[in-house]
Amino acid sequence: MKHLYKLFTLLVVALFACTFTSCSSDDEEMEEPSMEVTPANLHGTWKLVEWNNGEQVPEGTYCYIVFDRREQTYVMYQKFDSMYGRRITGSFAIKNDPYQGYIISGTYDYNRGDWNQSYIVTRLVQSGSMVWTGKDDTADVSRYERCAEVPAEIINESKDLTE
């Protein structure tokens, strides 16, 4: 009888151990799969919501990017280093590097040159967010969220870079 009690106790402990080790994390099950980074999947308006590896964008600072998939152009409304917002236009390109993944790069219109750096785009998900990591500066991490449009007051206050 004593052996039967020990065997029963051991069986209960084993069942609990199996139950806890076989469960996967809810985060793993709920994680939304990344989409392919293409002009069609980027098409639309995006708002910068985090930069510098997770910091919220400071109040009074903003960056909106509107991508056009057909022309592979963008219009950017940003206010970082000036008291006035700016409207910047240009073109972009996406390359799928077998080692680094999807890389987006761009040029500014009016012979103003290339973007400061290219970015590796990850976690582009259907629900509307993506992460950009600097190709040459992995500490430069930004997260964008899809939005309906650039607010009218931002469009109105932004000066065109050509002016």
Per-residue pLDDT tens, the chain, 163 aa: give them: 554 444 445 444 444 444 444 444 454 557 899 999 999 999 999 999 999 878 899 998 999 999 999 999 999 999 987 888 999 999 999 999 999 999 999 999 988 999 999 999 999 999 999 999 999 999 999 999 999 999 999 999 887 655 5
pTM value is 0.79
Q: Which CATH class is domain 39-160?
A: mainly beta
Angle at the Cα of 119 from the Cα atoms of 117 and 122, rounded to 5 degrees? 170
Cα–chain center distance at 141: 9
User: Using CA atoms, how far apart are residues 78 and 133, in angstroms rounded to an integer?
Assistant: 18
Q: Which helix (H) or strand (E) holds 107?
A: strand 101-108
